[in-house]
Amino acid sequence: MTYGHIGELAELYALGALDERERTAIETHLDTCEPCTRLVGSAEGNVALMASLEPRRESPPDLNRRVDSALHAQHRAWRFPAAIAAALVIGFAPSLYLWGQERAMHRAMYATDAAMARLASAPHRTATFGATAGGPAAQVMYAPDGSWYVVVVRNATKALDVVWMHDGQRTMLGSASPIGDVSALYLPKSHRMDTLALVDGDRVVAQATLNWQKTAPTRRGDRSG
């Protein structure tokens, strides 16, 4: 798969005929591409039809209890606005305060409900984007297990695409659009990405290397990149 669409990989994804990295790249792409989501949905329908005509067994009672327990024990994952606000508090609050952002941004930064407090204390790491001349100043904060990322661009004047660079390819993750002069993009994921880039049109304007080495993360975050 390239920066574009997934094409005939839809059937391979639905059949489970991709390796883990290819599967992850598809799932990442589907987060932002509705046409490909429909394509995969159609292929999933064909595979599910095959599966539905195969030998059927009743699900065991202990599995039913296990699923029920999982649905009640685990809280839902990160919520978009809360996670962005929490990440801003964690990594950028002092600087942002000085930058004089809009009042709404300040209110978001200093909201202090219980959920915010929990999110703000979450272990995280930070990597700085190395920018080309005239490129943006940007950082990415991310969970040590790769379960979420927040890309923040300072002095942003326009939307930039955030892409995952891997295997000589670019997988589109989403666009960071300015609010005031800061852009932020929250990316809930389930995998680790080594290299992220900011793209303006087709041009990479900044790139960050993320550190997945085992070190104890701090509340303020480890630095890398």
Partner 1 sequence: MGSDEALAAGFAAHERWAFGEAYRRYASLLYSAAYNVLGNADDAKDSVGDAIARLWRSPRPYSTARGDLRSFLVVCVRNDAISRLRRRTRRLRVEERLASITPERDDPHLPDPIERDRVRHALQTLPAEQRVPLELAYYEGKTHAEIAAELREPLGTVKSRIRHGLQKLASTLRAISGAERDRV
Q: Between 67 and 104, whose beta carbon lies closer to partner 1?
A: 67
Q: Between 78 and 164, whose beta carbon lies closer to partner 1?
A: 78
Q: Between 79 and 154, whose beta carbon lies closer to partner 1?
A: 79
Q: Using alpha carbons only, what angle is made at residue 38 by residues 32 and 41, rounded to the nearest 5 degrees? A: 115
Q: What is the DSSP letter of 96?
A: H
Place of tokens 């005929």: 17
Beta carbon of residue 39, minimum distance to partner 1 (angstroms, whole number): 10
Report whether 78 contacts 148 (CB < 8 A).
yes
As given in the structure block, the two tokens for residue 183 are 């852009």
Beta carbon of residue 72, minimum distance to partner 1 (angstroms, whole number): 8
Q: Between 34 and 202, whose beta carbon lies closer to partner 1?
A: 34
Give the torsion through C-alpha atoms of 28, 137, 146, 116, to 10 deg.
-110
Q: Using alpha carbons only, what angle is made at residue 222 by residues 220 and 225, rounded to the nearest 5 degrees? A: 130
136 closest CA partner among 85, 199, 180, 84: 199
Beta carbon of residue 153, minimum distance to partner 1 (angstroms, whole number): 22
Q: Between 43 and 199, whose beta carbon lies closer to partner 1?
A: 43
Q: Between 67 and 132, whose beta carbon lies closer to partner 1?
A: 67
Q: Between 31 and 222, whose beta carbon lies closer to partner 1?
A: 31
Distance, CA of 138 to CA of 199 (rounded, Å) = 12
Bridge-based pairing of strands 125-128 and 222-224 is parallel
Beta carbon of residue 145, minimum distance to partner 1 (angstroms, whole number): 11
Beta carbon of residue 95, minimum distance to partner 1 (angstroms, whole number): 27
Distance, CA of 38 to CA of 99 (rounded, Å) = 42
Distance, CA of 136 to CA of 170 (rounded, Å) = 19
Beta carbon of residue 7, minimum distance to partner 1 (angstroms, whole number): 9
**Site for partner 1, rule CB under 8 A:** 8-9, 11-20, 22-23, 30-31, 34, 37-38, 40-60, 62-64, 66-68, 70-72, 74, 76-80, 188, 190
As given in the structure block, the two tokens for residue 54 are 């195969």
